[in-house]
Amino acid sequence: MNQRPSGTRSVALVGSYLSGKTTLLESLLLATGKIARRGAVGDGSAVGDSSAEARARGMSVEVNVATTEFMGDTFNFVDCPGSIEFWQDSSDALMGVDAAVVVCEADPTKAAALAPLLKRLDELELPRILFVNKIDRGTGRVRDLLPALQAVSDKPLALRHVPIRDGETVTGYVDLASERAYVYHDGEASERIDLPESMNDRESEARYELLEKLADFDDKLMEQLLEDVEPPNDEVYEQLAKDFAEGHVVPVLLGAAEHDAGVRRLLKELRHEVPTADATRERRGIDPDGEVLAQVLKTYHTTRGGKLSVARVWRGKLSDGMTLNGERVSGLFTMVGQQTEKRRDAGPGDIVALGRLEHINTGDVLEPGKDGTAKLPVADIDQSFQVAPVVDTGLGRIRVHHWWASFWVRVWQTTEARIMGA
Ligand SMILES: Nc1nc2c(ncn2[C@@H]2O[C@H](COP(=O)(O)OP(=O)(O)OP(=O)(O)O)[C@@H](O)[C@H]2O)c(=O)[nH]1
Ligand SMILES: [Mg+2]
């Protein structure tokens, strides 16, 4: 059996507006012991939405990074805002992660809105998991959601869980790889139960569909299916991990971030399946040998700490006090939302904040003895999504943002009103 990937991994939380990404981050930090109590997005006490502007607007307004540990591995979670105005911020940050969790709701009518995001993940060749959140609401059926999501995903979706319902309430799930059933417990780990008899048919049907998807990428599994041989569970796990890491399939998991339901399962999945920092570096075509190399994913201007450049280290050891692109790093930090924890150095795969690099911008590649003009061999930000020059229409001054030519947002300069169209 292949060894599971290990070491520091970075995962973006992306998805539609208000689908629950920041709530999921909070739950991930609670489950990994980084925070002792859960904050709420509603009152601005969540790690991801603690800036004054996010509190005032009741939504995420920029990317936030939080680093935590889970079973010996470090995870950098990058919570991206869902609202279209902040797409550029999210798109910049996606350059520095190893995988993405796409958070959505069990509402087929909202699936189409994910199309541009999935396209961007394809461009960056980022493996992704779909996390169907708010399953506690019981509205919308996963069975109806999947075709709607598949219609906007070029990659096949592989349903990993089926919900267990009591009337309209989802009380737990069956994991189709292990064929184990679990019941959710609010704020705690799910408890394993016997597979309910009423679920037998649904489980067999959904498991077969999952195996069929995986068999498209594995001849041995295909033979087993054709000969009606039940593949051993560890082979199914191994194939799932391989297909995810290579970007062949998109696993679909269920949960309710607000109730910590399905969150530990998601963490385990990430620990076992997110490719290593070395694998991402190779995919980006970056030479593993050479001096330290980092890339700025996000820039903050803080009132207390001054300018902070959040960077992904691609190779080498980055230390506090080092000179990069002709500027001295004054302070090196791990981030937990707006909180910073001082550290001495950082290595490949780490996402850290660098203090007072006054002339460095988001996207810049950092190297010792360089002037900042180096470029990484990575996909460019889609140039069709940009802020166009301000246009005076005679009725007022407008800025036009294009979004893959299918959506636009106009921001009226005088009133800051926003209009969106397709
Ligand atoms: N019922 C239910 N509500 C949830 C769940 N997760 C999040 N919510 C609610 O959904 C709303 C949006 O949650 P956020 O975490 O701010 O969503 P978001 O995706 O970060 O939003 P943006 O970053 O602004 O796009 C809040 O009112 C949450 O309380 C869940 O599992 N169940
Ligand atoms: Mg958010």
- Domain limits, CATH 2.40.30.10, in the chain: 286-366
Residue with the nearest Cα to atom 3 of ligand 1? 134
What ranges make up the beta strands (E) of 245-305? Answer: 250-254, 293-302
Given a contact cutoff of 8 angstroms between Cβ atoms, the answer to whether 28 and 267 are in contact is yes
How far apart are alpha carbons 81 and 77 in whole angstroms? Answer: 13
411 versus 404: the higher-pLDDT residue is 411
CB atoms closer than 10 angstroms to residue 406 = 11
Q: How confident is the model at residue 302 (pLDDT cuts 50, 70, 90)?
A: confident
Task: Find, among 320, 319, 296, the residue nearest to 308 by Cα.
Answer: 296
Please name the fold of domain 9-282: Rossmann fold (3.40.50)
* CA distance to 418, 419, 420, 421, per residue, from 411 (Å): 5, 7, 9, 12
CB atoms closer than 10 angstroms to residue 37 = 7
Average pLDDT over residues 393-417: 43
Task: Answer yes or no: is the C-beta of 137 below 6 A from any ligand 1 atom.
Answer: yes
How far apart are alpha carbons 64 and 25 in whole angstroms? Answer: 10
Tokens standing for residue 387: 């802020």
CB atoms closer than 10 angstroms to residue 181 = 20
* HSE of 18, CA atoms in CB hemisphere, 13 A: 6
Kindly report, residue by residue over 156-191, the tens digit of the pLDDT.
999 999 999 988 889 999 999 999 999 999 878 899
State the distance from the centre of ligand 1 to the C-alpha of 369, rounded, in angstroms: 44
How far apart are alpha carbons 362 and 93 in whole angstroms? Answer: 9
Burial class (CB in 10 A: 0-12, 13-18, 19+), 87: buried
Handedness of CA 303, 309, 312, 314 (dihedral sign): negative
In the predicted structure, residue 382 carries a pLDDT above the cut 60: no
Residue with the nearest Cα to atom 27 of ligand 1? 42
Closest atom of ligand 1 to CA, residue 82: 25
How far apart are alpha carbons 361 and 372 in whole angstroms? Answer: 9
Cα–Cα–Cα angle for 246, 249, 255, rounded to 5 degrees: 120
How far apart are alpha carbons 346 and 8 in whole angstroms? Answer: 11
Report the DSSP pairing between strands 293-302 and 365-366: antiparallel
Task: Answer yes or no: is the C-beta of 280 below 6 A from any ligand 1 atom.
Answer: no
End-to-end CA distance of the chain: 48
Closest atom of ligand 1 to CA, residue 259: 31
Kindly report, residue by residue over 51-105, the tens digit of the pLDDT.
888 877 888 889 999 999 999 999 999 999 998 888 889 999 999 999 999 999 9
Given a contact cutoff of 8 angstroms between Cβ atoms, the answer to whether 395 and 388 are in contact is no
How far apart are alpha carbons 82 and 385 in whole angstroms? Answer: 15
Given a contact cutoff of 8 angstroms between Cβ atoms, the answer to whether 67 and 334 are in contact is yes
- Domain limits, CATH 3.40.50.300, in the chain: 9-282
Query: pLDDT exceeding 70 applies to what percent of the chain?
Result: 87
Tokens standing for residue 236: 């199914």
Per the CATH hierarchy, to which homologous superfamily does domain 286-366 belong? Answer: Translation factors (2.40.30.10)
Task: Answer yes or no: is the C-beta of 136 below 6 A from any ligand 1 atom.
Answer: yes
Q: How confident is the model at residue 385 (pLDDT cuts 50, 70, 90)?
A: very low
Q: How confident is the model at residue 118 (pLDDT cuts 50, 70, 90)?
A: very high
Q: Which ligand is nearest to the CA of 23?
A: 1
Task: Answer yes or no: is the C-beta of 262 below 6 A from any ligand 1 atom.
Answer: no
CB atoms closer than 10 angstroms to residue 120 = 21
State the distance from the centre of ligand 2 to the C-alpha of 120, rounded, in angstroms: 19
pLDDT at 53: 82
State the distance from the centre of ligand 2 to the C-alpha of 54, rounded, in angstroms: 9
Cα–Cα–Cα angle for 69, 71, 73, rounded to 5 degrees: 55
Task: Answer yes or no: is the C-beta of 110 below 6 A from any ligand 1 atom.
Answer: no
Given a contact cutoff of 8 angstroms between Cβ atoms, the answer to whether 67 and 386 are in contact is no
Q: How confident is the model at residue 378 (pLDDT cuts 50, 70, 90)?
A: low
Q: Which residue of 13, 14, 23 sits with most ligand 1 atoms within 8 Å of its CB, as the best mutation to test the pocket?
A: 23
Task: Answer yes or no: is the C-beta of 10 below 6 A from any ligand 1 atom.
Answer: no
In the predicted structure, residue 406 carries a pLDDT above the cut 50: no
Residue with the nearest Cα to atom 14 of ligand 1? 20
Given a contact cutoff of 8 angstroms between Cβ atoms, the answer to whether 254 and 132 are in contact is yes
Lowest average pLDDT, out of 155-164, 358-367, 374-383, goes to 374-383
State the distance from the centre of ligand 1 to the C-alpha of 42, rounded, in angstroms: 9
Kindly report, residue by residue over 224-264, the tens digit of the pLDDT.
989 989 899 889 988 998 899 888 999 999 999 999 999 99
Against a cut of 0.85, is the pTM above it? yes
Task: Answer yes or no: is the C-beta of 21 below 6 A from any ligand 1 atom.
Answer: yes
What would you report as the CA-atom Rg of the chain, rounded to the nearest whole angstrom?
22
Instruction: Report the 3 state secondary structure along 94-151.
Output: HCCCCEEEEEEECCHHHHHHHHHHHHHHHHCCCCEEEEEECHHHCCCCHHHHHHHHHC
Task: Find, among 313, 246, 312, the residue nearest to 273 by Cα.
Answer: 246
Instruction: Report the 3 state secondary structure along 303-372.
Output: CCCEEEEEEEEEECCEECCCEECCEECCCEEEEECCEEEECCEECCCCEEEEECCCCCCCCCEECCCCCC
